Structure 1
Amino acid sequence: MAGVVDKLCWITLLDKINAIITCHSHFVADGDIRLRDGNTQYQGRVEIYHNGEWRRVCDEGWGINDAKVACRQLGFEGAHTAYINYNPRGPGSFWLSNLNCAGTEGRLSSCTSRGWGTISSYCAVGDNDDAGVVCKSPGDGAVRLVNTSSPYEGRVEVYYAGEWGRVCEYNWGLNDAKVVCKQLGLAGAHTSFRDWNPRGTGKYWLFNVNCAGTESNITQCTHGVVGVYNSNCRQSYYDDAGVICYGDGDGALRLINTSNAYEGRLEIFYSGRWGRVCDYGWDLTSADVACKQLGFTGAHTHVFNKTPRGTGLFWIQNLNCHGGEARLADCSHGGVGVVSSSSCSQSSSDDAGVLCKGPNDGEIRLIGPSQYFGRVEIFYAGGWGRVCKYVWSMNDAKVACRQLGFSGALNYWTNWTPRGTSRVVLDQLNCAGTESRLDACTHGWIGYPSESSCSATSAVDAGVACEAPGDGQLRLVDGNGYNSGRVEIKFAGVWKRICDWGWGSNDAAVVCRQLGYSGYVRSAAGWNPRGSGSYWLQRVGCMGTESNLTDCTHGGVGAYTSSYCGLDRYDDAGVYCQGYLPGVTPPNTTTTTPNTQTTRTTVAFQRGPRCYTCSGTSSCGELQTRFTYNTYITCSYGYVCHIKATAYRNYALDFGSSTIAYSYSRGCRDRSFCTNREFLASTCTGTGASRVCRECCTSDYCNSGTLDTSQATTTDRGFSSKCAWFNIFFLLIFVFAWN
């Protein structure tokens, strides 16, 4: 039968939107074939021309040798795939079935078959029993990465039969990814991905790819039949294979969100972009490798939940470095881009951070009144920071003073005021006391102290007083200028007050001896005017024989109790010393210099009796408590011992009844203030709760006993020695007048 002219058109897809339609008219002869219902000229359902009519070819017995002949007849190099049950099926009836080509024939009609129009019963007109082919085309086996903003990563697509198609993730592994990356001209693969998101939308060309990793092209790997896949490769699911290939600059690190060059949130570079490092599995060894890669000598701290958090994707998690790696990327990890959403949530602060070592780290300084006394600061991350008082102890203070070059520590402080204003960088120090530097002691995480115990907005600073030249020196201030005054002592280069809690004559004796006086007169409490600032000593307990006040027992240098040693109260210790220091001229000493001779007259020093100063109790022999004191003082010349009992109403527990009780006070009193009756016996004034009884005496410790409070009330408060002389004078006048 004569041939006819047939017009053949096919579509070449450029991308998801654009395509090229190509048509070709040619003379059709009996036995010619054509491909229908395919996306390109290289694929489709096979139809054959016979007796002036195009009809279907049944897939009964259809195989790859038949497909090779068909593709060769169409002018292509060969066949990838012989399809059965081609979808969509063709219309009309079949010309051939049960084809059995050797593969070398030039035309499909030359192969053995049942013959024209003799069709197997398996070839139903209404079923998808069509034979189809995927023929070889130029560019077959090319790969590309799609759905990505980087040329180094993405979903893998492969080119066959003039069309890009998906690669199924079934059995997809790192060796397969290596071949794809190598085929793309990249050095290798970091990661093979399954379930790539976003998924592809077209057909799958390959599944069950199994590369050794050494192939140069994915077509050299074993795989399923091109265009044939199983139920593991669903077109509407995320069953796509993906890769992350090596890129330029991979593994580079940087620190961000920081005010200095030594610390921050860690980011790592892969696939042409920066990404976050997850803190899952993050440890100090990994941080040390990261800091060394950044050019530092190592890491002080590995930081979890670094804030502010990053906003991009996480590149790596579960790092496990051994410490000898040159780069963080050389450490084992969970895979580039492979992270657990439960441990590394992009919306959470799951970022890893570091604080790296820098020059001068661990140096310390004191901020305070002197170089020996102050709040401790330590240098890290290029700046000075505070040391928290959390578990700060005397051993820590000893090490701090040793590091500063001082001989030792006097005491340590917590809650130093005024507090520092910089960040708190160190806490939980636990020194043995023998270390040479504070940073050699065990401690908490540098730069990241306990938030509950070391708040940057609270007075949580550690302080120290170090030993200094001149420690223990004394001076008298606010006195008469030559042998009395308020006592101040010098420690750590600073003069401070001594509290009068427990202050007594033995303490005064040592003070006067240390200052160079010939003796002491008495101790004094509540000195006025008071000192300013805090106290160096309280509860001084001298035996009286010591050479220096620092040889006496006391409550500790710098330790004082505010209830007894108030900063704004008159709680200062004072002394009255005996004699004068060399070169000091007292006010009652006169010096005349007629010509070349000097006449000096000095008033001899005299003292009064020694008197008890116990208070609150009826007798100085009673047991004393923290509220009552059993001490004595030496009175100045012209003073005598004095005892006073003041009545008060003592109520029963139910306040239904009361009795009159007496509170005692003892000490020295100016002799002129005592009446003759008070020298002779107890003298009382007032009644009831207003009653006051007094007695004066002149011998040592004569005021230790109790008073007779039953004496009759008297108003004679003026019978003094002056009154006695007036009476004698009046009597003499009377005698002369009588004579």
Structure 2
Amino acid sequence: MIFFPLCDRCSGTVEILYEGQWGRVCGQKWDVDDANVVCGQLGCGRAVSAQGSVHLGQGSGGRPTWLDDVGCKGSESSLTECSHGGLKHHDCLQSQDAKVVCSGKKSPSVLLVNGSDLCSGRVEVYQIGQWRTVCNDIWDLNDSAVACRQLGCGRAVSAPERAYFGQGSGPIWQDDVGCSGSECSITQCPHTGGTHNCRHGNDAGVICSVTSQIRLVNGKGRCSGRVEIYYNGQWGTVCDDSWDIKDAEVVCRQLDCGGTNQVRSSGQYGPGSGTIWLDDVACTGSERHLTECPHRGFGIHNCHHSEDAGVVCPAAQVRLVDGKGLCSGRVEIYYSGQWGTVCDDDWDMNDAAVVCGQLGCGSAVGAPLGAHFGQGSEPTWLDDVKCSGSESYLSECSHRGFGVEDCKHGEDAGVFCLSEIRLVNGTSHCCGVEILYKAQWGRVCGQKWDVNNAHVVCGQLGCGRAVSVQSKRAYFGQGSGPIWQDDVGCSGSECSITQCPHTGGGTHNCCHSNDAGVICSGKGVSFPCLYMSCIRIWFELCI
């Protein structure tokens, strides 16, 4: 039997079992052919490093040396089949332990299946060419702790029983697994030795503390930045060798950040400081998790942190539906080729502020619940949204994951925004009209522009009442940007021009020679006071 005395079972100091005792293999003449036999015997792929001096820790202090002068051809199935100087015969120093780093590309010995990610799910162990479930008899947190450690998923949070993650369909591996919690692999724990009295309704599960194994750092929000993965209890970076759009797509999908349109390399988000965990990543683009993609093996690289990979995931589009204009309505978000709604669980003004900001609709003044703008018919994409208010896009906020929800459309979330407006090219700040939408100032078409529309604009700016309406010949000069609104039809009681009926979003049949204008009395209350009174009136009238 062969063993690495480290919790990464595919790298470490080589030991073999002889006469009931683990002992060392001398590193003299140790080469890649010898290492390949060790990696193959352990099911750890091919050797990527073969070392004959101290590199991975301090040797097997105090243990006997069983083998010296090992000379494998590389085709042997076991290390003891290779030529050597004879068991227990050596002239080796303690510092000359043989060491190996394997690629680790063969299937892992344990997986968590049907969970939300790689760190939760039904426990399955690979044995004799098949994945097998584990019976939950005496299954506890100690057993779960070993599985979490083996997968680099932190500590165990829970040890769910009774097929919590669904029933498996293959053989049942073991029963009465009794780990102490200190083992490096679930296969090292005491168990019944291949017998059981279980059915798949008793399949064991695990939930680990690291529920997401990937993050983006130093970007603008959680959907852009330097790629970091969590492995073996530590966050580390990914080298940009061979890094491309397919790798980035997997990262964005794993983070529920949609697709991707930009790849970053050469440490553009700053150099990391931890271990470089992955190199030569080669995803097809269809994988669910980055660690499912081919790579050189954890910790195996020829990179510096100046080569740390990065990703920019595009923000999911947002729109407001069935409100009065583009800046109020039921919140809908575009994901997987389809518009869907947002559940109002935990929905608040911070969430609404992010939506208004993303749409270029100014400030949020309301976050109505209970399908205030009517029920949607599409899927519900987001639930339990928790924005801080500083995010640039709704998809950057914390949520349960796209499509993970327990809501009905009677709980669709809504938003009221108070779009920014300004008056330009007049003799004071109370003359002219421009509105801000999608972060760009634009004009309003003068067709159907009347005194009711003008009153709303003046009131919104704290400029009193309208004393003159300019609807033709671009009285205050022709604009050069977009025309955001046409056919505006206010009643005069609205608090914001965006509440008025209009054909907005840049849809118009106007030219800048018809830009609307206003001259206000300039004797109104200050804007902050008007803003607060408008919120009060709005909620009295509209909610």
- Specify the TM-score bucket, using the shorter chain as the normaliser: 0.3 to 0.5
Which is helix-richer, 1 or 2? 2
With CA pairs under 8 Å and 6+ residues apart, which has the higher RCO, 1 or 2? 2
Which is strand-richer, 1 or 2? 1
Give the alignment's TM-score, normalised by structure 1. 0.30
Give the alignment's TM-score, normalised by structure 2. 0.38
Q: Bigger radius of gyration, 1 or 2?
A: 1
